[in-house]
Amino acid sequence: MNQTAPAARNPRGQGSSSRLVPRHGRAVERHVRNRWSLPAFSFVATMSIVLVSIADTSAPAVAVELAAPGATTVDSQEFTASGAHSVTAELAAYDITEPPPPPPVAAPAAPAARAGAPAAGTPDPGSAKAIAAEMVAARGWGTEQYDCLVALWQKESSWNVYAYNASSGAYGIPQSLPGSKMASVGADWQTNPATQITWGLNYIQGRYGDPCGAYASSQSRGWY
Quick one: which of 192, 157, 187, 190 has its CA closest to 174? Answer: 157
Residue 176 φ then ψ, to 5°: -65, 140
Q: In whole angstroms, what separates CA 77 from the centre of its chain?
A: 62
Query: Is residue 211 within 8 Å of residue 149, measured between CB atoms?
Result: yes
What is the per-residue pLDDT for 179? 97
CB 211 within 8 A of CB 146: yes
Whether 177 is in a domain gets the answer yes
Give the pLDDT of residue 146.
Answer: 98
Identify the pLDDT of residue 37. 61
Q: Is residue 39 part of a domain?
A: no
Q: What is the DSSP letter of 138?
A: H
Per-residue tens of pLDDT for the chain, all 224 residues: 444 444 444 444 444 444 444 444 444 444 445 566 666 667 777 776 756 555 555 444 444 444 445 555 556 556 565 666 566 656 666 677 778 888 877 665 544 445 579 999 999 999 999 999 999 999 999 999 999 999 999 999 999 999 999 999 999 999 999 999 999 999 999 999 999 999 999 999 999 999 999 999 999 999 99
Domain membership of residue 145 as a residue range: 128-221
Q: Is residue 175 part of a domain?
A: yes
The amino acid present at 60, given as its one-letter code, is P
pLDDT computed for residue 139 by the predictor? 97
**Domain total in the chain:** 1
Q: Report the candidate in 80, 79, 206, 215 with the shortest Cα–Cα distance to residue 154.
A: 215
Write down the pLDDT at residue 170: 97
pLDDT the model gives residue 52: 56
User: Could you tell me if residue 192 is inside a domain?
Assistant: yes
pLDDT score for 87? 60
Q: How far apart are CA 149 and CA 146, in angstroms?
A: 5
Nearest Cα to 32, choosing from 51, 11, 15?
A: 15
SS3 193: helix
Q: Which whole-number Å values give the CA distances from 60 to 56, 57, 63, in the listed order?
A: 9, 8, 9
For residue 171, the cross-strand partners are: 164, 176
91 located within any domain: no
